[in-house]
Structure 1
């Protein structure tokens, strides 16, 4: 009888062990992606004795291993006479330690862009650098030599000193295959996800600039764009905001801001007041912002509609520091709050978590015989960044920004948003297809977009290379409302995708 008891005990332990390990295997595995944000500055010598163009950059890089990195970056003019000059590009580089604190940072940035009637040619440029850096633990500084060349018919070619600040910005993620998987709070307590949550918000909005001084005085410039807020504490956050004009002036105006703010909640977290202040670059479309440097104080009021979705209205100012260009701003939008990466919060109680999908796509577009303002057609190429946030397993919201880099349209840029649908993977879990329709602001570079409103439907295919990377190709059509642009386009790119934990009450 004693032997039977032992046998039964062993069988029960075996069943419980199998159940335990099976449960562990099914729970989404947490990964930590190391990365860093960078702010950098360089002053570019311009041709024909023109004043230097001061260039400020905002980048995010992923650490591939201990000594190499790759990522994306924007640049905008903040000094000189080329306000409205913007670029987008890809980064790649190495960081090699000399001592525990001292290191060498060498890399290259390739991209496209231009604006403000600058001699940028097609917009394609390279910007290599070699810097000496020092690690202060919570941030690093680097400085050294850089070289910039707008090589596709442009005449901007300069060597200069550059300096940068780098801030570690890592994030938690899981496989994209875990998209929309849901777990109870109790399940997640016994996992690596039992850490403090972090909060971000995503805002899609329309903004109106009522010009009170400077270019287009008395007119209203209508903008469309997006804003991302990341919370450092429950009340303090930093934000990145980008907008482009779609009505009211000739196409081509855009702005990008980086700033911080304070968040005050009331009415049981149903109502929020946000005070913000940002600095950045803006111009184009005939708007004279001189060097391009702008400031942006703003006050927003938000009201909860359902779950984590809020309606937002904002009132503020957008202006150059010397008041050469001044506008009063008024806008409205929809905001979505996310509590992510962990299950613990000081102010909120969660009941479950769901894994949401995110895709970051870098691609090269070809517009076939793009219609120009001069009444002729010519191929135009552009580099594009698209971010997809999955609303459920098949439907995603998308935001895209693009800058011309070949085809004699260096000042052309787009900022568009929309919706898409994606299929399940097939062919041995390697391939998926998608369709999307995006619309928003575009202009510059002599491309015939009227006041700037375009629509871009497309279909395409993803082919999985690894857990985080896919090849991506698409075929589509672009049409400008009020302009002559009406043509087919194709693109190919790299899709970096993952899922992240989003907690629910």
Structure 2
């Protein structure tokens, strides 16, 4: 009897353990965020009556906060006139009110900072309200109406003008940030809302070399031909299907010319995979805005044809080499490009893919931070010091539970340095939350290109360490503050700084 009881007990425990470990892990809650991308255009009447209008175009992304209001971020760049190299960054907020099923009113305001190209931008701070009437064509919307722009911190750009925009729905799925790095199998997810086709994206950091050719020149008339402008930047690619893609890329100069040159491009391309997806070839064409650093790009409108070869090195990381041209359409500014980069591919928000058969799924933490920087006694080219403020956007992608890769761009908005901008990348570390899951601390080291606005950055290379605290406000929203130090290589900028802002935290499902 004792032996029978003992055997039954062992069998029961064994089956119980097997049953316990065989259970599927609960799938993460899938949350959908509605949003839309926006491309807009306005032609600004400049203060000097003898100067042509500055054509201004923007790229934005807005989150729908509810059925009728939205908020987001946007960049602007000059593409017409004589102010090539004039760029801004800002935040958007607005209301969309439906009149009928198709007709709606769109009104809102953009607040930002920036400038450049010796324009009368003052400290760089500006407002841009608009009032538009729009029509919904289902897959996109078109709006047009009135806008007003005012560089109010000592600038003299102040104008009413016609405003037009295109809205393209662009939604995404996510879950809570505190679930980052959780792993799942297909069995865990096959009965959940995540079991659908994934979307492929890629992120790349790169160095690009512009070999200047033709009759390219500085704004002073001095020839640039023969120089090499060295840029650092990043590129974001999203795939429409297995072959076609669209991309956004931004670069800033750190060597070869005076600091201040940058460019931003939006475009499309074709992707061809070979060698069992270990080797890729991409042909891309972009249009955008560029200038600064004394380079004469006329109105700033540039085109960018490019061919990129990619080779897998490990996991989802690829080494890249690209060759192409960056130029104005009339070749007034004309360069040949050669670049090298490191690219990371992600299949997100689903369990199946056109490219690979994912064997494992993981939630990757992503932080989008909008903040205001305050540089104490920022050194100027004139040999004096003055505080400078800038609006800044930083995106963190977590490589594991604590370490993240960061990209940051910033534009001056107060302190008489309207043309100053930064484009920097690096690594950071963030702790788990403590004090009842409300507070975490972080430290990071970023570096890259910066210049313009009379700030003494030499040829543009800066290093920027910092640390700070993150305080939870809502489930995916927190307050972020920090202090740090910025140092320019080859320039006099050597300042302590402080910043504060808002951090939007989410986790996205990725497969590999």
Class of the TM-score when normalised by the shorter of the 2 chains = over 0.9
Structure 1 match to 2:324: 316
What is the alpha-carbon distance in structure 2 between the residues aligned to residue 237 and residue 291 of structure 1? 28
- Return the offset for 1:95: 0.1
Deviations 1:29-48 (A, max 9, x none): 00000000000000000011
What is the alpha-carbon distance in structure 2 between the residues aligned to residue 362 and residue 19 of structure 1? 44
What is the alpha-carbon distance in structure 1 between the residues aligned to residue 242 and residue 440 of structure 2? 39
In structure 2, the gaps of 5 or more residues are: 1-15, 218-223
Structure 1 match to 2:242: 234
**RMSD across aligned C-alpha pairs, in angstroms?**
1.4
- Return the offset for 1:27: 2.4
Structure 2 match to 1:402: 410
In structure 1, the gaps of 5 or more residues are: 1-14
What is the alpha-carbon distance in structure 2 between the residues aligned to residue 153 and residue 102 of structure 1? 39
Match of 2:254 among 246, 249, 272: 246
Structure 2 match to 1:90: 91
- Return the offset for 1:348: 2.3
Structure 1 match to 2:399: 391
Residues 24 and 187 in structure 2, CA contact (< 8 A), matched pair in contact too: no
Please state if 1:353 is matched with 2:355.
no
Q: Secondary structure at the match of 2:178?
A: helix
Deviations 1:154-193 (A, max 9, x none): 0000000010000000001000011000011111101110
- Return the offset for 1:289: 0.2
Structure 2 match to 1:44: 44
Match of 1:271 among 261, 271, 279: 279
Structure 1 match to 2:183: 182
For residues 23-102 of structure 1, the aligned pairs below 5 Å read 26-49=26-49, 50-102=51-103
What is the alpha-carbon distance in structure 1 between the residues aligned to residue 437 and residue 85 of structure 2? 44
Query: Displaced runs of 4+ in structure 1, greater than 6 A?
Result: none
What is the alpha-carbon distance in structure 1 between the residues aligned to residue 358 and residue 58 of structure 2? 38
What is the alpha-carbon distance in structure 1 between the residues aligned to residue 446 and residue 203 of structure 2? 17
Structure 2 match to 1:116: 117
Q: Secondary structure at the match of 1:396?
A: strand
- Return the offset for 1:19: 8.0
For residues 362-381 of structure 1, the aligned pairs below 5 Å read 362-381=370-389
What is the alpha-carbon distance in structure 2 between the residues aligned to residue 229 and residue 260 of structure 1? 9
Please state if 1:429 is matched with 2:430.
no
Please state if 1:481 is matched with 2:489.
yes
What is the alpha-carbon distance in structure 2 between the residues aligned to residue 303 and residue 254 of structure 1? 28
- Return the offset for 1:344: 1.6
Please state if 1:206 is matched with 2:207.
yes
Deviations 1:202-246 (A, max 9, x none): 010000000002122110000000000000001100000000000
Residues 126 and 150 in structure 2, CA contact (< 8 A), matched pair in contact too: yes
What is the alpha-carbon distance in structure 2 between the residues aligned to residue 430 and residue 110 of structure 1? 30
TM-score of the superposed pair, with normalisation by structure 1: 0.95
What is the alpha-carbon distance in structure 2 between the residues aligned to residue 341 and residue 234 of structure 1? 16
Residues 277 and 355 in structure 2, CA contact (< 8 A), matched pair in contact too: no
Q: Secondary structure at the match of 2:85?
A: coil
Deviations 1:465-494 (A, max 9, x none): 111100000000000000000010000000
Residues 69 and 96 in structure 2, CA contact (< 8 A), matched pair in contact too: yes
Structure 1 match to 2:498: 490
- Return the offset for 1:28: 1.0
Give the direction of change, closer, same or farther, for the CA distance of 1:338–1:162 in structure 2 (3 Å limit).
Answer: same
Deviations 1:135-166 (A, max 9, x none): 00000000000000000000000000010000
Match of 2:508 among 495, 500, 504: 500
- Return the offset for 1:346: 3.7
What is the alpha-carbon distance in structure 2 between the residues aligned to residue 240 and residue 361 of structure 1? 19
- Return the offset for 1:128: 0.1
Give the direction of change, closer, same or farther, for the CA distance of 1:148–1:333 in structure 2 (3 Å limit).
Answer: same
- Return the offset for 1:23: 5.8
Deviations 1:391-431 (A, max 9, x none): 00000000000000000000000000000000010000000
Please state if 1:339 is matched with 2:347.
yes
What is the alpha-carbon distance in structure 2 between the residues aligned to residue 352 and residue 311 of structure 1? 23
What is the alpha-carbon distance in structure 1 between the residues aligned to residue 31 and residue 242 of structure 2? 25
Matched length: 487
Deviations 1:239-271 (A, max 9, x none): 000000000100000000000000001011110
Structure 2 match to 1:168: 169
What is the alpha-carbon distance in structure 2 between the residues aligned to residue 387 and residue 395 of structure 1? 13
What is the alpha-carbon distance in structure 2 between the residues aligned to residue 350 and residue 425 of structure 1? 31
Match of 1:412 among 416, 420, 424: 420
